[in-house]
Amino acid sequence: MSIRVITVNASAKDSGDGGKLSAAKEAADAISKGALVGFGTETVYGVGALATNREAMRTLRNLKSRPAAPFSVLVTGIDDVRRYVQKIPLRASWVMSKTWPGAVTLLLETGGKFPDKKLQQTKGLYEALTMDGVIGLRCPDEPVVTAMLEKIDGPVVAPSANLAGQPSPRTAADVLEGLGSKIDLLLDCGPTKYGKDSTIMRFAGNTWDIVRPGVYDTRTMGKFMKRKIIFVCTGNTCRSPMAAGIAKKLIAETLDLRVEDLHKNGVDILSGGVYAADGSTATPEAVLAAEKFGVNISHHKSRNLTPEMVKSADVVLCMTGFHAGQVRALAGNSAGKISMLDEREEIPDPIGGDVGVYLRTAEHMQEALQLRIARGAI
């Protein structure tokens, strides 16, 4: 077997030109036909195979001397993860938002079967990709590989492109030296960025551990699971403090924590207003409505939103498009973290209404929060 090598230069990777696209297409076509393809990532070089092609998987297992243990599956983002995992742990979604695409492999519980109907229809695929109901998922930070994955109809597995017991390859030359003609195609993406294996992190419900340190150590991974969420309205006396209070309750329940323990577990949930006077209390109606949802905001003091608050947040959730626009004007390079709490519709100001109006507003916010938490979008 002769191996074809395609050199993908830096300009092709960065600009999205035909060099990158043609390399990605050729690699995708090869994998789709059952070939083994080597390629660079930001960590080490990998070798990919189509998981639904039994002959390709048999060849890969023989190459890696790995007769039974599953290989990690490559994905292009969190939407791909939902094809394999029924319920993504909230903290895992936070890790994804901070490290993907990037040098972290996540081991997640599938929930007993793949949610994706098409994946369910392939006999033996679940058993090939999981062990004890757990699947490994990796989202590489290499544009050529992402483009390749988007052109392949089916899951692609990719261990490191080396023989068992040998060092993980950092260059295409390393792959050629170690595997030679044992693979069909190699994308030479240049030296890898980190030259280290990805960090492997395992989640089981709300517990986690580091299976293999790599690019990131345990301390750094702990930082990636911290979260700061800010809710924004106009005066910070009704909608945003109610939203923050309800969010604390829901997220604490999701993480099996008490509300008062969120901060020491790395979760901070705040609120602010784009035109707020510092130090005002929540409106009486907001306090009463929040109580109906098991939330106490009687000690709330309003604050005016600052650029520093926005910069320090992971997510900023606004009540209306107007608020989102105002926050983006403050945010500078942080604009990408800003969105409306309810992405479908605005949450109108209940000010001047009775407690019933505030209750409906609180219910609207709770429903929006529940949807976001279920999707890991908070």
Catalytic residue IDs: 233, 239, 349
**Two structure tokens written together for 303:** 């604050």
Residue 336's Cβ-count burial label (10 Å; 0-12, 13-18, 19+) is exposed
In order, the DSSP letters of 67-118 are: SSSPPPEE-SSHHHHHHH-SS--HHHHHHHHHH-SSSEEEEEE--SS-S-HH
**Two structure tokens written together for 148:** 């390749």
Measured between alpha carbons, how far apart are the two ends of the chain, in Å?
49
Shortest CA distance to 163 belongs to which of 180, 184, 140, 138?
Answer: 180
C-alpha span between 196 and 280 (Å, rounded) = 52
Per residue, the 3-state secondary structure of 212-229, as one string, reads ECCCCCHHHHHHHCCEEE
Shortest CA distance to 281 belongs to which of 259, 303, 310, 260?
Answer: 303
Angle at 197 between CA 171 and CA 315, to 5 degrees: 115
Shortest CA distance to 373 belongs to which of 201, 249, 261, 265?
Answer: 249
3-state secondary structure at position 48: strand
Quote the distance between the C-alpha of residue 46 and its chain's center. Answer: 21
Sign of torsion over alpha carbons 322, 325, 331, 334: positive
C-alpha span between 2 and 180 (Å, rounded) = 9
C-alpha span between 201 and 138 (Å, rounded) = 11
Q: How many C-beta atoms lie closer than 10 Å to residue 299's C-beta? A: 8
DSSP strands (E only) in the chain: 4-7, 37-39, 46-50, 73-74, 104-109, 130-131, 134-138, 156-157, 185-188, 199-204, 207-212, 227-233, 267-273, 315-318, 338-340
